[in-house]
Structure 1
Amino acid sequence: MTVAPFARSARRYSLGEELFMAHQEQLVRFIASHLPAASGVIDAEDLAQETWLRIMTLGSPRLAPAPVTGDQPLAWGLPVLLCNAARDVVHAHLTKLVEWMEREEAAEPSATAA
């Protein structure tokens, strides 16, 4: 899977932008690893965007970039809160997918019915 890196410019970035640039690639990989093989990079990128929206909407000072001492807990190379938000987004996505598949199966006529 290839995720395009974000180019930096000379301007100052907000905390949210810094977090995005520091963790986007790893976040997409984390999400993709939790999706079925049939899901593509686009699904993972969409869910990563949904994760960022959730985090930025809720806001959390604990998502601040880790200092050089490395005292911020990480999971999969991501801040734990970001990892947990991504896990919640993936769970909701997969739940909707399973519900949709069950409705589709229920709507199909039975192969044994004549």
Structure 2
Amino acid sequence: MIDWVGGEQNLVGIIIPLSGICILLIIPKITETNRSRRYFLPAFIFWLGFQLLIGLEQGTLISFPHPIGLLSAGFLLIGFFTLMTFGLFAAWHERDPYIFSA
């Protein structure tokens, strides 16, 4: 079953965004995340989709045609970077300026 997603190396790559998704689902119970969470969670989901697509390409279960797999992976990666940038921008704007002033 590990061969379906391209082996152990890709399985470790899939665990990283999964742990990020789990952390983002738990964090609102601990602290206030405001608007930045609505960007970070879809970004990690895009990263998970990217890792799954790459793993499935290298695995034995499903093989997408080369242009479709490549374009889909590119769009998922661009979506990840875009949402992470928006999330960091939202977190930067919502910070408390009195905490960082000396």
Q: Smaller-chain TM-score range?
A: 0.3 to 0.5
Q: TM-score, normalised by structure 1?
A: 0.38
Q: Please tell me whether Structure 1 or Structure 2 has the larger radius of gyration of its CA atoms.
A: 1
Higher helix share: 2
For normalisation by structure 2, the TM-score amounts to: 0.41
